[in-house]
Amino acid sequence: MLRDTIFDIVARSVAALRENGDLPDVALPAFEIERPQIASHGDYATNVAMKLASAAKAAGEKSNPRAIAEIIATRIRETVAVVPAYDLVETVEVAGPGFINLRLRPAWLLAQTGRVIDEGNSFGSVHVGRGKKINLEFVSANPTGPVTVGNGRGAFIGDTLAAVMRAAGYDVTKEYYFNDAGGQIDKLGRSMEYYLRLALGEADPSKPDEGYFGPYYETVAERMIASGAKKLLKLPEQKRASAIGEATAAAIMDDIRQTMAKMRVEFDVFFNQASLGPSGELQASIDELRAAGYIEEYEGAQWAKTNLFGDDKDREGNERGRVIVRSNGEPTYFASDVAYMRNKFLRGFDRLIMILGPDHHGYIGRLKAVAQMLGHAADDMHILIYQNVTIKGQRMGKRLGNIITLDEIYEEVGPDVTRFFYLMRSSDTHLDFDLDLARKQTDENPGLSVQYAHARASGVFRKAHEQGITESDYATADVTALAGDPPEQLDRELAMIRQLLRLEEVVERAALLLEPHHLTRYGMDLADAFHQFYDHCPILKQGADIPLDVRNARLRLLRAAQAGLARTLTLLGMTAPDRMERAETVERVEA
């Protein structure tokens, strides 16, 4: 990656100076290579001189950060002058309190066009993941209702995070855990029994006091009756609730899978909680914890000593951990958690990541404790909590009874815009979905703007084709010739190639920090750079009188931009259209 090369240049120069005793004789502190916020400061900056000065001062030596920076800068200039692989650096300057700013050579930047085009679908990939096996579990909504705008957030975060992590070199398995066991299924069954009887025209069927209610369940009841659920009502009372519950859960699971498929969220594994009992894994994990000495009995129940690993350390009056087997002999939901995690680790994953809603933050301590009881590091179990979702301008929430499903959003704006909007915000932040903005079929819609950039690029190639210009005409064009363009054009061309090259850094950062939202920001930046290029650097424009070599070089650059946009959109799970559907626009009023 480009930044790694810059790091090497700086590190090598500093190391050489230290060998000669030209720098303060203190341990070299960690330093950063960063992109300055202000373009006039160059492409990269390092704070190594300030860090060194600071360390020297702490060791009692007197030091001047700017003077140190000058020494290092001089050495860097010498280094890049003699090492051919480092010929990408044009200038090295000391600025401010002691920053060393490096600027890249325009011709080198332009030449990167070839690499972007050659790498194509794999452009932006990095290797920080080193093939580490990751289990990424997300959504895992209970099969007791449709996916909502709230719990659907995990779907987009998870799906795109997986794509980004794969691009960063991780081996990712995407997994959905269906909580299809326990009391909630019976409760679902009792609720559905009411809806089935209602749908069959029974007069005044009894409605349970507590359960799952709403118009959605009426539609599920209709479908279940159509597929023969009527006979379930004839089952004896003890079996009826669980039988209806299981059938209902299966029907709802189908809905959830369909919603996911429509939104292009894919899973490698669907795991059913109910399978853990019959497979013997539930018992095996309890036995394993007992053998390790982590289970104690109290008042007839079996307690797992999660408190030994920090779980519930602040919970009042409870130093016993969590109940894993009730006094009536039934394992708790927590037992399933243990068995499921054990199952994942046995499948050979190096790290487990779970994406959960804000109501699950209590899980963090509990599950990290489980990981440790199973003999793994606390950090091998990572939980990513995302915050709530609201629809702008609407009050919502279960208590108000106006749950909005993800399907409704799909109907309104489709998968592309939905995905983009969900991924614009950090998981840590509450998401206020601006449905009005999402509905707009104009460039005001930031998601469409990225797609439009891609479509525009495709449009130019379409036009080129119509004019008889073929790929072979510009495939070997010398893009560095653009270095001779006037600033108005060259600045835009360089800005776009700079944005393109940034993708690798964005992918690495998003993967390491588990923050896929950086990709949408990047998409907007790249699209913006593209539109600037498009507006200022004509290629086929009539009457613009573009020399052939410039035209062909710009077509190359455009090809690279198209590839970068396509790659970004793909990582976001969006389509990269070759043309945009023209929306019905208001006729312009002639003055």
Q: Which residues in 219-258 contact RNA (CB under 7 A)?
A: none
Start-to-end CA distance of the chain, whole Å, equals 54
SS3 548: helix
Enumerate residues 104-163 that contact RNA by CB under 7 A.
142
- Cα–Cα distances (Å) from 340 to 185, 324, 347, 501, in that order, read 19, 14, 11, 41
- In eight-state DSSP terms, residue 482 is G
Which of 130, 223, 239, 315 contacts RNA by CB under 7 A? Answer: 315
Enumerate residues 491-550 that contact RNA by CB under 7 A.
505, 509, 515, 517-518, 521, 524, 528, 531-532, 534-535, 537-542
Cβ-based nearer residue to RNA, 199 or 389: 389
Distance of CA 41 to the CA centre of its chain: 30
Choices 19-27, 119-127, 276-284, 441-449 (CB under 7 A): range interacting with RNA: 441-449
The answer to whether 92 contacts RNA (rule: CB under 7 A) is no
The answer to whether 455 contacts RNA (rule: CB under 7 A) is yes
Q: Can you give the length of the chain in residues?
A: 591
Enumerate residues 275-294 that contact RNA by CB under 7 A.
none
Q: How many residues bind RNA (CB under 7 A)?
A: 101
How many beta carbons lie within 10 A of that of residue 284, not counting itself?
16
**CB 133 → RNA: shortest distance, Å?**
27
**CB 195 → RNA: shortest distance, Å?**
20
* Of 35, 33, 57, 37, residue with least CA distance to 47: 33
Cβ-based nearer residue to RNA, 92 or 483: 92
The answer to whether 272 contacts RNA (rule: CB under 7 A) is no
What track of x and - describes contact with RNA for positions 317 through 356 (by CB under 7 A)?
-----xx--xxx-x-xxx----------------------
Which tokens go with 232? Answer: 């379930």
Cβ-based nearer residue to RNA, 147 or 199: 147
Which tokens go with 562? Answer: 């198209």
Which tokens go with 93? Answer: 């300057």
CA distance 68 to 14: 10
CA distance 496 to 477: 18
Cβ-based nearer residue to RNA, 225 or 580: 580
The answer to whether 454 contacts RNA (rule: CB under 7 A) is no
Q: Which residues pair with 103 in a beta bridge?
A: 91
For tokens 């005044």, the residue is 204
Cβ-based nearer residue to RNA, 472 or 585: 585
The answer to whether 296 contacts RNA (rule: CB under 7 A) is no
Which of 11, 28, 198, 385 contacts RNA by CB under 7 A? Answer: 385
The answer to whether 581 contacts RNA (rule: CB under 7 A) is yes
Choices 81-89, 243-251, 276-284, 445-453 (CB under 7 A): range interacting with RNA: 445-453
Q: Which residues contact 9 (CB under 8 A, 6 or more apart)?
A: 76, 79, 80, 86, 89, 102
Choices 109-117, 308-316, 341-349, 478-486 (CB under 7 A): range interacting with RNA: 308-316
The answer to whether 358 contacts RNA (rule: CB under 7 A) is yes
For tokens 């007791």, the residue is 144
Enumerate residues 12-51 that contact RNA by CB under 7 A.
32, 34-38, 40-42, 45, 47, 50-51
Q: What element of type H or E holds 33?
A: strand 33-34
Exposure string over 99-112, b if 16+ CB within 10 A, otherwise e: bbbbbbbbbebbbb
Cβ-based nearer residue to RNA, 258 or 442: 442
